Amino acid sequence: MRNVALRLRYDGSRYHGWQVQKNESSVAQTLEEALTKVCGHPVKTVGCGRTDAGVHALSYCANFRTDCRIPIQRIPLAVNARLPGDIAVLEAMEAPESFNAIGSCIKKEYIYKIHNSPIRDPFLDKRACFYPQKLDLPRMQAAAEAFEGRHDFRAVRSVGTETRTTVRTVHWCRAEKEGDLITVAICADGFLYNMCRAMVGTMVYASYGKLQPEEIPRLLEKGDRRLTGPTMPPQGLYLHRLWYEDPVGRMFGD
């Protein structure tokens, strides 16, 4: 039985997230249906993490097990021929027996895009969060830096999937602007439910002076979700980069 790792990307606009849903279309279900046709047997995938409805992935990892002998280099083309245009398998490789897309992931980077302009851009609809009020980038960056390090992040999570601990390490949190587009990049060893979107919402609050960037460590210590910023809309969020040990790490090395 081969353990196959996939590198894929998708536009999540019309899906109810990665996870298989009973009554909603999901990325995992769509991928599994295509893999089942290619492999000739039912396929169950393991994804590197859940992405919510409307969230995108520029780089995503999933693995599955199969006794199908199709050459590994042919899997992307064969699967893509059976996938809709908003999901694409970029690469496939045979992974070690112990590899698990979520359990083997060392760290992840999400990015959040804000179109900060008084005029909407129809080409960014469902690709970025339209935010017409002017944002203060230096204050957002100061707030971003306040999240870095190892903290209990329960103050910036929504009630959802239960976890053993709400402590995470944020390796970096950065806000940059090019033209009217603000991009926030957050890299951590793991993320809580809606953590990224709540962190960005807190940065937006800091931009307006509704809270001070230097207050953020104290707010994290208090752990009260009501004291931090709002959960931003999903359409601006992308899973951007993933890190694994080799040999799968080489597939994600770009």
Please compute the mean of the pLDDT values over residues 219-247 and round it to a whole number.
Answer: 94
Q: What is the DSSP letter of 125?
A: T
Q: pLDDT at position 24, please? A: 87
pLDDT value at position 22? 81
pTM comes to 0.93
Q: Is the separation of the CB atoms in 1 and 34 below 8 Å? A: no
Distance CA 215, CA 5 (A): 42
> Where does 63-183 have alpha helices with state H?
75-80, 137-146
Residues pairing with 112 in the sheet? 184, 237
Supply the pLDDT for residue 254.
61
Q: What pLDDT is stored for residue 84 in this prediction? A: 97
Domains of the chain with CATH codes? 2-104 (3.30.70.580), 107-240 (3.30.70.660)
Q: What is the pLDDT of residues 33-92, one digit of tens each?
A: 999 999 999 999 999 988 888 999 999 999 999 999 999 999 999 999 999 999 999 999
Task: Characterize the bridge pairing of strands 2-10 and 87-94.
Answer: antiparallel
What pLDDT sits at residue 52?
A: 87
List active site positions.
Answer: 52
pLDDT band, very low/low/confident/very high, at 21 (cuts 50, 70, 90):
confident
Per-residue pLDDT tens digits for 119-158: 999 999 999 999 999 999 999 999 999 999 999 999 999 8
Give the closest residue to 210 by CA, choosing from 229, 231, 182: 229
Alpha-carbon span 84 to 93, nearest angstrom: 22
- pLDDT category at 212 given cuts 50, 70, 90 is very high
